[in-house]
Structure 1
Amino acid sequence: MGSETTGLAPYERVASAIRSAVLSGELAPGAKLPSNRDLAQQQDVSLPTLQRAVALLQEEGWLVSRPSVGVFVSADPPKDAPPVSIGDLRRGLVDLRAAVSAIEERLDRLEAADQ
């Protein structure tokens, strides 16, 4: 597991792995994904976790589902960097809180010096 997936929920790690496979060309546009059960086993996650990752990727435009046929890589998947994940937002929030705290401390010191 790479450092870019550290701290992510299991479904986010699966989604990240599938995005990476699409971006690298390992999964080409139009390619059919293995069955949900097989893919869950390959990714070492539960079936509901895999289904959550697939649903997320469908919402983002990476995958399309054809009922009774399967799940496929979108014919026109996003070309740019993957969208911000919940893990990215969590890390950003931690950084933002630290920055706000530092600003508050600096402001307190400036106000104390003015008195």
Structure 2
Amino acid sequence: MISGEFNSRGELFFETGLMAADGDIIPVKALLDTGFTGWLAIDNQDALSLGWDQEDEPQEMQTAQGDAQFNLYEGTVLLDGQEFAIEVLGGNGLENILLGVRWLQTKRLLVDFAAGVLTLG
């Protein structure tokens, strides 16, 4: 189980690790986005700097801001002490690394704003 933190806007952040192609682990804070139905979204520039392999052609997808094109990458994420090889969406100009609701199929989310408790595991 990993502990997260709330920011001043009440957003949910968790520290996770992104594994570069050379095996280095890059610790990052990722925003849990319940409106995102995938595993992970990251800026294309960051995915390329990690050396992640790009899959197929870009795909058109609908977002809260409208339609956008995303690249698909195969990335490795460390979460709660486990390594996961997952499909990653890469977009341009993404401000945060996003964890999607697919994680909630395998991990339990506990959010208690009043008590300041946020865990995923």
Q: Considering the TM-score relative to the shorter chain, is it more than 0.5? A: no
Task: Give TM class, smaller chain.
Answer: under 0.3
RCO greater where, 1 or 2, for CA within 8 Å and sep 6 or more? 2
- In the superposition, the TM-score normalised over structure 2's length comes to 0.24
Larger radius of gyration: 1
